[in-house]
Amino acid sequence: KAGVTQTPRYLIKTRGQQVTLSCSPISGHRSVSWYQQTPGQGLQFLFEYFSETQRNKGNFPGRFSGRQFSNSRSEMNVSTLELGDSALYLCASSLMPTGTVSGNTIYFGEGSWLTVV
Amino acid sequence: QKEVEQNSGPLSVPEGAIASLNCTYSDRGSQSFFWYRQYSGKSPELIMSIYSNGDKEDGRFTAQLNKASQYVSLLIRDSQPSDSATYLCAALGGYNKLIFGAGTRLAVHP
């Protein structure tokens, strides 16, 4: 069974540009969450989607947005990139939304490494 | 104050010893707790989850939860060099958000 697939794995962008990251969850999983990981802040929750609806959102500026498609694939977009957006962006999938069912395991993808120069 | 706190380490233990990793959380409403292992350059991998006070054992791993003290720990018995990684503690807080600690780096030396 394929795991969570994220593309692209590595990318370099210039300040002010925008970027779109893609995530394909495990087959059958309908919940997709996005996290940002940096050495200084650790793993921080961005947002969660379930059945094409945003269920939850972390404390990030509006430059960070996402969406989910009918096939559960998800994309996140960061506009007007800043140097501080350089990070590993992790996508995670699960059968059900976070916190709704006991034992609902969250599986992470390998991540997309974003460098902003 | 961070919502989930961990000692960043590194925690260095000899091969075969018990590694003890600790985590405290601030949200008394948190009911579910998780330990993830993350190798350098890789994604986090769930190794233990715990929901009730007490101990939960799975192979060489034992998770301990004390909700009164808001404390979670992970014990790794018979530590192996392959256990060297960063261990992330996470708590399912209010609004169903998974809150991660900064992680503890464990180094197991032969």
pLDDT at position A69: 97
pLDDT at position B5: 94
CA A4 to each of CA A44, A74, B64, B80: distance values in angstroms, whole numbers, following the listed order: 18, 11, 29, 28
d(CA B85, CA B48): 15
The whole-number average pLDDT for the span A8-16 is 97
**pLDDT tens string A41-64:** 889 999 999 999 999 999 999 999
pLDDT at position A96: 82
Helix, strand, coil shares of chain A, percent, nearest 5, are: 5, 50, 45
pLDDT at position B77: 98
Tell me whether residues A33 and B98 touch, CB distance under 8 A: yes
pLDDT at position A103: 75
Does the N-terminal peptide bond of residue A39 adopt cis geometry, omega within 30 degrees of 0? no
Tell me whether residues A90 and B95 touch, CB distance under 8 A: no
* B31 — pLDDT class (breaks 50, 70, 90): confident
CA B105 to each of CA A26, A41, A62, B61, B84: distance values in angstroms, whole numbers, following the listed order: 29, 15, 33, 16, 8
Does position B1 have pLDDT exceeding 70, yes or no?
no
> pLDDT over 70 for what percent of chain A?
99
Scanning every residue of chain A, which has its alpha carbon at the shortest distance from the alpha carbon of B44?
A: A108
pLDDT at position A25: 97
Scanning every residue of chain B, which has its alpha carbon at the shortest distance from the alpha carbon of A4?
A: B43
Does position A101 have pLDDT exceeding 90, yes or no?
no
pLDDT at position A40: 82
**Set of chain B residues whose Cβ sits within 8 Å of the Cβ of A109:** 43
Chain B interface residues (partner A, CB cutoff 8 A): 32, 42-46, 49, 51, 88, 90, 92, 95-103
**pLDDT tens string A66-99:** 999 999 999 999 999 999 999 999 999 998 888 7
Number of Cβ within a 10 Å radius of residue A115:
12
Does position B41 have pLDDT exceeding 80, yes or no?
yes
Minimal CA separation from B108 to chain A, in Å:
22
Between A73 and A100, residue with greater pLDDT? A73
Tell me whether residues B96 and A100 touch, CB distance under 8 A: yes
Average pLDDT, chain B: 93
Burial, A22: exposed, middle or buried (Cβ in 10 Å; 0-12, 13-18, 19+)?
Answer: middle
Collapsing DSSP to helix, strand or coil, B71 comes out as strand
Does position A17 have pLDDT exceeding 70, yes or no?
yes
Average pLDDT, chain A: 93
Minimal CA separation from A48 to chain B, in Å:
9
Nearest to A42 among B32, B49, B102 (CB): B102
**pLDDT tens string B55-75:** 999 999 999 999 999 999 999
The DSSP code for A25 is P
d(CA B57, CA B99): 23
Does position B96 have pLDDT exceeding 90, yes or no?
no
Amino acid identity of residue A45, one-letter, is: F
**Set of chain A residues whose Cβ sits within 8 Å of the Cβ of B32:** 99, 102
Helix, strand, coil shares of chain B, percent, nearest 5, are: 5, 55, 40
CA B27 to the chain's CA centroid: 17
Does position B76 have pLDDT exceeding 70, yes or no?
yes
Q: Which of A51, A17, A32 is nearest to A89 (CA)?
A: A32
d(CA B5, CA A100): 24
Tell me whether residues A98 and B98 touch, CB distance under 8 A: yes
The whole-number average pLDDT for the span B79-105 is 91
Find where tokens 């009730």 sit: B52
Scanning every residue of chain B, which has its alpha carbon at the shortest distance from the alpha carbon of A111?
A: B43
